[in-house]
Amino acid sequence: MATTGVIDSNDKNLWGGGVEPMKASYGKLMMWFFLLSDALTFSGLLVSYGLSRFAHRAYTGSVEDFVFSQEYWPIPEKVFTHIPFTHAPAPLVFVGIMTFILIMSSVTMVLAVEAGHRMDKKGVQKWMLWTILGGITFLGCQAWEWTIFIQGDKGTIIDGVKVFGANMSVNEYGPQLFANFFFFITGFHGTHVLSGIIINIIVFYNTSIGVYEKVGHYEMVEKVGLYWHFVDLVWVFVFTFFYLV
Amino acid sequence: MAHAHDHEEHVVHHVHPPDAAKIRKIWLTAGILAFVTAIEFLMAFTMDRGVLLITGFVLLTFVKSFYIVAEFMHLKYEVKSLIWSIVLPVIFIVWLVVALLIEGDAILTLRNIWMWYFN
């Protein structure tokens, strides 16, 4: 009787407790479900961008003749044309570089996780530092892009007044909502990058003082890795739906 | 995964040599992501703006997100119940997108009617 009971609880009753049915630790599972809810938040922002765009008239002329106007939604590649140190128009190049930086920092993060699996403290330290550097570079690029966006370019006449740049109440580039969504979506993503950098620095510090070596595993690196990849994932969507489409 | 030797008196962790096949796969995934982004760039400057271009962008975005989630976030190698717990709720977002884009279009139609009526 007792033997039968034991076999039952081990083999058939996967959700009865005492085992990890998803073969992942509590912390990792909770990170996954947090990321799921965060994905819904970002979807909310991006989908409302889509709604606003569909609720405004689209530009119908040729791309070459495009000028900024309050009458229609701007073509993003006409808005983001700046790169540092030159005034030559380079549409989407800068945001492409930013995408590349973030993907590379995701790669160094996986390499840190891989080093953690091997209990390679030096490796984890090295790759975490590269990841932190990538994150800081990305944030720097975003700060520069915001500055350019806020300062403005040629200016647009709105209600008889020439307006330069954009903020939450005027927008040189088109309908007001375009600027507002730019600040909210890239800002919310930038906040995620910022908190990711801070968490990465904490994990780097803990690695350096030997916390995870003492614990016996580097699972914390995996958990912050999940978060960092998610931030990269969101940027892939922001890149497509804000800059490309 | 974890290599805990807690049954030992003094804990000694051996550093294992890097797994070459694993690291090659990481760089391969990175290469795919960079390549797909490069294609998106090429499309942005060579194709006319329209349904075809936007469909291409959306599909390539899904390709990229698959590689990030499956390989980098390791979801592909988790158990089925975990995979579906994450993927199924995300599918509902598709409905959200469709519903709100139709709604946006309806708002534009109303807006145009109002403008025509008052001018």
Helix (H), strand (E) at residue A110? helix A93-117
pLDDT attached to residue A1: 47
Rounded (10°) CA dihedral A150, A177, B100, B62: -10
Closest B-chain CA to A48: B100
Give SS3 for A161: strand
**Residues making up chain A, counted from first to last:** 245
Beta strands in A113-198, from DSSP E residues, in sequence order: 156-158, 161-163
Which pLDDT value is given to residue B113? 93
Report helix, strand or coil for A88: coil
pLDDT number for residue A11: 57
Contacts with A, B 99-118, CB within 8 Å: 100-101, 103-105, 107-108, 111
Contact across the interface for B96 and A229, Cβ inside 8 Å? no
How remote is the C-alpha of A166 from its chain's centroid? 22
Would you call B39 an interface residue with chain A, using a CB distance cutoff of 8 Å? no
* Residue A119 zone, left/alpha/beta (φ > 0; ψ -120 to 50; rest): left
The DSSP code sequence of chain B is: -----TTSSS---PPPPP-HHHHHHHHHHHHHHHHHHHHHHHHHHHSPSSHHHHHHHHHHHHHHHHHIIIIIS-GGGS-HHHHHHHHHHHHHHHHHHHHHHHHHHHHHHHHHHHHHHH-
pLDDT value of position B3: 52
Question: Shortest Cα distance from B119 to chain A (angstroms)?
Answer: 15
Q: What is the per-residue pLDDT across A23-79, written as a single tens digit (0 to 9) for each?
A: 889 999 999 999 999 999 999 999 999 999 999 999 988 888 899 988 899 999 889
Residues of chain B contacting A33 with CB distance shorter than 8 Å? 85
> How many alpha carbons lie under 13 Å from residue A201 in its C-beta half-sphere?
10
Indicate the pTM of the whole model.
0.89
Determine contact, residues A74/A173, Cβ cutoff 8 Å. yes
Which are the contacts of B116, defined by CB distance < 8 A and separation ≥ 6?
Answer: none
Token code pair at residue B41: 């760039």
Contacts of B82 in chain A (CB under 8 A): 22-24, 29, 32
ipTM of predicted assembly, 2 dp? 0.86
Instruction: Show the low-confidence residues of chain A (pLDDT under 50).
Output: 1, 5-9
Q: What is the rounded CA–CA span in Å between residue A146 and residue A140?
A: 10
Residue B54 in contact with partner chain A when CB distance is under 8 A: yes
Spans of chain B below 50 pLDDT = 1, 4-9
